[in-house]
Amino acid sequence: MSIVRVALDVPLSTLFDYTVDEAVVVGRRVIVPFRRRQMVGVVMECVANSEVAVERIKPVLQALHDSAPISANLLQLLQFCSDYYHYPIGQTVLSALPARLRSDKPITIKPVLHYRLTGAAPHIDFLPKRKAVARCIVETLSVQSCSLVQLKVISTTAGAQLKWLEQEGWVEQFEALAMPQRLSVASHTFANAHQLTDEQQLVVDAVTQSAGFGCFLLHGITGSGKTEVYVHLMDYVLQRGGQVLLLVPEINLTPQLEAYFLSRFPDASLVSLHSGLSENERLKNWQQAQTGTAQIVLGTRLSVFAELPKLALIIVDEEHDSSFKQQDGLRYSARDVAIFRASQSSVPIVLGSATPSLESYHNARTGRYRLLKLTGRAQADARLPTVNCININQTVMTEGISEKLLREVGQRIERGEQSLLFINRRGYAPVLMCTECGWLSDCKNCAGKMVLHLKDQRLRCHHCGYQLRVPTACPGCGHAELLPIGSGTQRVESVLQVRFPDARILRVDRDSTKNKRAWQTMREQIHANEVDILVGTQMLAKGHDFPALTLVGVLNPDSALYSSDFRAAEKLFAQLMQVAGRAGRADKPGEVMIQTAFPDHPLFRCLQSHDFEGWAASQLAERQMAGFPPFVFQVMLRAEGMIEAEVYAYLNQARKTAIELKYPVEILGVVPASLARRANHVRAQLLIQADTRRELQQFLRAWRPVLDSLPTQKLRCSLDVDPLEF
């Protein structure tokens, strides 16, 4: 018998020893007894001896051979994450796997369905002309067989048309264990639809001519053609038989990018990995990446842990986006993990953004990353939009929208152009107030307010989910007049409906896109110019290309200027720059109008001149003076519980032990979290920072065992290395 050390999904920073009477390789999934239950774990080591007495070591119940073992490279990456983020190794390893691989139920690999023409299929000229989608499908299948995902590039209604073609006996399904691989490098097809500009070509050459690992920060203005650069880099990798990992911040961006890349690489095998997939879909896609069959893996932050045996390039699009940072469990930054993975695999990584994070920009300025720039828009006749500020203290306002902005919207409607009103707050109004006694719609479970959703006649807390019907009278004094204060997307939509009764208005926020295909349908409406006015949140701010959109109005951006978060101004600048970039991307000039009480604020001045570099330089200078990242490195210890005294007692004891260790770190005081109470839990935090990453990690390695020994009772505690939220 040999001994294996197994990682289990338990909150303990250790591996567990088991005996096994068969040859089991590292990375193999096994079923083992743990206390009074059975669990699935991953073999991390095979050893000859154990510190545990032999008679106490339990045997492995079963080694699972229904999927390939996890590679040594991925295990090394997960070990790095566990060490750097100080999170239990077992929970780190198991959380990175698809849910089906964490289950002890047997896995059956379902074949991928493909479609091909039958011998009875007619020529497309004999199909009805009204069946345009069916004609395109037949034309495509006459060249090669395709999966449903590939055919949906033609149209979202491809599934329904395929059923009709099958009923007619002209198309049939067949099964394949994996997507068809290219027979040779020469069979790779690239639809080179665009000629690269000189700047784009320089970027492609810089990346492709680099040997081994290199981190490139691609700073390209909105509309400069960063996606076209990605496509040409992918083409270079696919020609050489490699795999590409493309990380995007939002699930909503994956369908349109998937369709776009399939249109450019019609015979390539592309899979998506994100939380919107079913368990079976995610497992199937993950296994295609693991076998090397999937040539392009497109996904959100969790896909950074996909198995990629032939990885040759990593691209992180919108690298500045905070969505790349996981905010619970293993609190990792997918961007930073991707950089480590690229270094581990000796491959280049491209970080793309119109507004790079100040950490990445600082690394590029100091030579740690290589800075590449795209300073002009890709389309020769496209220009950056003009940015103007509307002083809300000196203009007539109608329900939070200035008359000047409303007039501009009306002019766009007359010209058949689209407008976007951006307000980063969903619902009808942020709070409901009694005009008599001043009662506010506080959430009974949180320190925040309940948002008015007028259409549903509901007050909802966006923090804990608690909701109730809108009261007919004030709960405090019984007064009948309750007034909505502030604006959300629903209120803006209703104001526009009154002002422009014949306009086609579309609201895009988390409420209106709850259904699975809602956003895809909306995007098709926008591209078909079936919408006059868009009202949306940050869902519309990034990555979308709407050719008919020429006006962007930004409502209520000033709240970020009052924030206690030192990153608030950076986030606001990036958000406004991104949403401004939606305007004027084609041949029509674009205009951005920002409603603000501070039109002379340096942030808005830099926005007007599209001067990211000037803004970044001033912010970095301020942070260096104040001692904020990227000039220091931070870790946040958070705690929350039902009893306030217990929360603060734990954090103060943790602070005391940190001081006693006498490491060269700065230990700040225990303070309430920005949302001091959520879902009836009191929340507080302790921030510690050091001048170097090495000093911080040395301190954490000494402090973590001490923290584990402190009584936590019924508290929820977490360490957040390189925190983004305060």
pLDDT of res. 185? 39
pLDDT tens per residue across span 475-512: 989 998 898 988 889 999 999 999 999 999 999 888 88
- Does residue 602 sit in the same domain as residue 656? no
- Does residue 82 sit in the same domain as residue 222? no
Residues in the chain: 726
Residue 301 lies in a domain: yes
CA gyration radius for the chain? 28
3-state secondary structure of 521: helix
What CATH number corresponds to the domain at position 24? 3.40.1440.60
Distance, CA of 242 to CA of 182 (rounded, Å)? 12
pLDDT of res. 311? 96
Residue type, 573: F
DSSP strands (E only) in 96-162: 112-117, 146-147
pLDDT tens per residue across span 296-313: 999 999 999 999 999 999
- Does residue 198 sit in the same domain as residue 342? yes
Distances, alpha carbon 590 to alpha carbons 500, 581, 612, in Å: 21, 9, 19
- Does residue 392 sit in the same domain as residue 250? no
State the sign of the Cα–Cα–Cα–Cα dihedral 665, 666, 669, 670.
Answer: negative
Residue 437 lies in a domain: no
What CATH number corresponds to the domain at position 196? 3.40.50.300
- In the chain, how many domains are there? 5
- Does residue 353 sit in the same domain as residue 212? yes
Residue 439 lies in a domain: no
What CATH number corresponds to the domain at position 648? 3.30.70.600
Closest CA to 533 of 422, 623, 628, 607: 422
pLDDT of res. 180? 40
Sequence-separated contacts (24+) of 361-367 with Cβ below 8 Å: 361/217, 361/219, 361/616, 361/620, 362/620, 362/630, 363/215, 363/217, 363/630, 364/217, 364/219
Picking from 571, 589, 620, the residue at the C-terminal end of a domain is 620
pLDDT of res. 410? 95
- Does residue 266 sit in the same domain as residue 330? yes
Positions in the chain whose pLDDT score sits under 70: 1, 108-112, 149-150, 153, 156, 176-188, 378, 380-382, 516, 542-544, 584-586
Residue 456 lies in a domain: no
Domain that holds residue 218: 185-374
Q: Where are the alpha helices (DSSP H) in 641-724?
A: 644-661, 693-709
- Does residue 654 sit in the same domain as residue 598? no
Residue 550 lies in a domain: yes
Residue 440 lies in a domain: no
